[in-house]
């Protein structure tokens, strides 16, 4: 005891050491108090269709754990902070097979008390899920569906959108073309419904930013980009884009059936942009600016592969929930929704400008990347595009344009 008293007295005679000692005691006491109290447990459900096994060889095959790994990494990060705030987070996965109902899977989790859900679902199933969970007060975070109608006439008050809308993606593309004065585009449209939706979004963006679509051509040559045959050229396809007074080719091929085939195979030397070539996207494995290299490295160690856009969007969804819960010190969905829609919410997202939700349609505002396979070419919004609230609102449906009317 005498030696302890001497140490105590010596510390008192040295103000800097004494201040450090006091701070240590306060932190230790606070940590002990936080550990002593019961933690607030926050359960998050993850609803998605199970991804099919990849083919024998596909360079860009969708990983079977796409999305869920991003959410799981965010849960781990939430729990690191939660150790000091008295909160713990848990992710419950419900991966349904084709033919099974994601709504029923979500209802079973809701019956167990879950009120927060991240969904990687097509638009129709996502709406069914939001409507089915609405009576329970649950919130749903859309991690993948880009459909503009989800932010417009089919918007829901309990549905937040992390994935960028098609309008945001094509607005970013139009800004890029306008800044470079590549204002005349040939639009090539695939046969799928998603391709038609992307083309419609680009038409709207072209009108919005003053671009000219000089011609539209449907793709009728099949999935040449996925062809397994020995013939790597197709004469008709090579002549497909011949002629016409245009600067660039904008391709609408969300299934990636043919867009990559167009690169370096056109009769005239034209750049390809859109769903292939130079792509506007929420995330890319080649993005390393603004500290993104840290997130890329963490995910690579965690998942054993690179982070894809759906992984990133699911990560942001879980991080948004974690930030809101820590701010509100609660997991009450109504309180979380009010905070997420409010002016004080900002989501750090490794893209130079924090994300926030547009209160009129609950779409996450975010910087978008222009990515090609080996580098990031730039970011949107492009320099020079101004807005009275946020330059991020130059991407997608602005308040005067919205057709979303939530009760």
Residues 74, 25: contact at Cβ < 8 Å? no
H helical segments located in 112-270: 123-133, 166-179, 193-209, 235-238, 259-262
Boundary residue ending a domain (263, 279, 295): 279
Judged by average pLDDT, the poorest of 69-78, 193-202, 286-295, 397-406 is 397-406
Interval 374-397: pLDDT, tens = 999 999 999 988 777 888 999 999
Q: Rounded mean pLDDT of the chain?
A: 90
Does the pLDDT value for residue 9 go beyond 70?
Answer: no
Percentage of the chain beyond pLDDT 90 is: 78
Q: Would you state the structure tokens that stand for residue 360, as one six-digit string? A: 């009129």
| Rounded Cα–Cα distance for residues 372 and 380 (Å) | 14
Q: Is 67 left (phi over 0), alpha (psi -120 to 50) or beta?
A: left
Counting DSSP H helices and E strands in the chain, the numbers are 12, 14
Instruction: Decide if 311 contacts 144 (C-beta within 8 A).
Output: no
188-214 mean pLDDT: 98
Show the domain range for 87.
40-164+284-368
- The 10 Å CB-count burial string (b at 16+, else e) for 249-273 is bbbbbbeebbbbbbbebbeeebebb
- Whether 141 and 167 have beta carbons less than 8 Å apart is answered as no
* 238 & 193 share domain: yes
One domain, residues 159 and 60:
yes
Judge if 90 and 175 occupy the same domain: no
Each residue of 208-259: pLDDT tens digit?
Answer: 999 999 999 999 998 888 776 666 677 777 788 888 899 999 999 999 999 9
Residue 242 lies in a domain: yes
For residue 85, tell me if it sits in a domain.
Answer: yes
266 shares its domain with 173: yes
Q: Is residue 23 part of a domain?
A: no
* Residue pair 169/254 in contact by the 8 Å Cβ criterion: no
What confidence score (pLDDT) does residue 14 get?
60
**Domain end point (choices 217, 250, 279):** 279
Given 279, 302, 326, the domain boundary residue is 279
Q: List all residues 6 or more positions away from 29 whose beta carbon is below 8 Å from its beta carbon.
A: none
Q: What pLDDT is attached to residue 5?
A: 45
In a domain, 177, yes or no: yes
The answer to whether residue 76 is domain-embedded is: yes
For residues 185 and 155, membership in a common domain is answered with no
Whether residue 8 is predicted with pLDDT greater than 70 in this model: the reply is no
3-state secondary structure (DSSP) of residue 407: coil
Residue 246: inside a domain: yes
Q: pLDDT of 94-105, one tens digit each? A: 999 999 999 999
Is residue 49 helix, strand or coil?
A: strand
Higher pLDDT, 406 or 335: 335
- The domain that contains 85 carries what CATH number? 3.40.50.2300
- Where does the pLDDT of residue 12 fall: very low under 50, low under 70, confident under 90, or very high at 90 and above? low
190 part of a folded domain: yes
pLDDT of residue 27 exceeding 70, the answer is: no
The pLDDT value given to residue 1: 47
How many structural domains comprise the chain? 2
Contacts of 245 (CB under 8 A, 6+ apart): 184, 214
pLDDT higher than 70, residue 350: yes
Cα 215–Cα 219–Cα 225 angle in degrees, nearest 5: 130
16-20, 178-182, 346-350: the lowest-pLDDT one:
16-20
**Does residue 158 lie within any of the structural domains?**
yes
Q: Are 58 and 144 part of one and the same domain?
A: yes
């Amino acid at each position: 005891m005498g030696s302890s008293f001497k140490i105590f007295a010596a510390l008192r005679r040295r103000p800097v050491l004494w201040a450090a000692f006091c701070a240590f005691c306060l932190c230790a006491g606070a940590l002990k108090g936080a550990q002593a109290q019961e933690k607030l447990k926050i359960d998050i459900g993850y609803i998605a269709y199970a991804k099919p096994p990849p083919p024998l060889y596909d360079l860009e095959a969708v990983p079977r754990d796409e999305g869920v790994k991003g959410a799981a990494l965010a849960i781990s990060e939430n729990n690191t902070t939660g150790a000091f705030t008295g909160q713990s987070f848990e992710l419950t996965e419900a991966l349904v097979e084709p033919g099974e109902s994601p709504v029923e899977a979500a209802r079973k989790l809701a019956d167990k008390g879950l009120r927060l859900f991240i969904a990687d679902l097509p638009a129709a199933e996502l709406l069914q899920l939001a409507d089915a969970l609405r009576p329970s007060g649950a919130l749903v975070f859309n991690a993948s569906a880009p459909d503009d109608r989800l932010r417009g006439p089919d918007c829901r008050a309990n549905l937040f959108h992390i994935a960028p809308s098609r309008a945001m993606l094509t607005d970013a593309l139009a800004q890029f073309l306008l800044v470079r004065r590549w204002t005349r585009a040939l639009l090539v449209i695939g046969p799928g419904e998603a391709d038609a939706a992307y083309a419609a979004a680009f038409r709207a963006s072209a009108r919005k930013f003053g671009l000219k679509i000089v011609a539209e051509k449907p793709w009728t040559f099949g999935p040449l980009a996925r062809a397994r045959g020995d013939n790597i050229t197709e004469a008709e396809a090579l002549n497909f884009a011949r002629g016409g007074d245009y600067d660039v080719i904008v391709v609408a091929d969300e299934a990636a059936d043919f867009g990559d085939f167009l690169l370096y195979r056109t009769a005239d030397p034209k750049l390809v942009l859109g769903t292939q070539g130079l792509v506007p996207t929420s995330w890319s494995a080649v993005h390393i600016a603004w500290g993104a290299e840290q997130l890329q490295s963490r995910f690579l160690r965690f998942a054993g592969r690179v982070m894809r856009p759906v992984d990133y969007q699911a990560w942001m969804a879980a991080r948004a929930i974690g930030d809101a819960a820590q701010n509100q010190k609660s997991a009450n969905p109504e309180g979380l929704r009010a905070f997420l829609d409010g002016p004080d919410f900002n989501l750090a997202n490794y893209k130079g400008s924090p994300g926030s939700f547009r209160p009129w349609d609950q779409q996450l505002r975010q910087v978008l990347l222009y990515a090609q396979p080996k580098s990031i070419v730039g970011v949107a919004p492009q320099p020079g595009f101004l807005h009275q609230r946020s330059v991020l609102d130059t991407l997608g449906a602005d308040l005067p344009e919205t057709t979303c009317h939530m009760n």
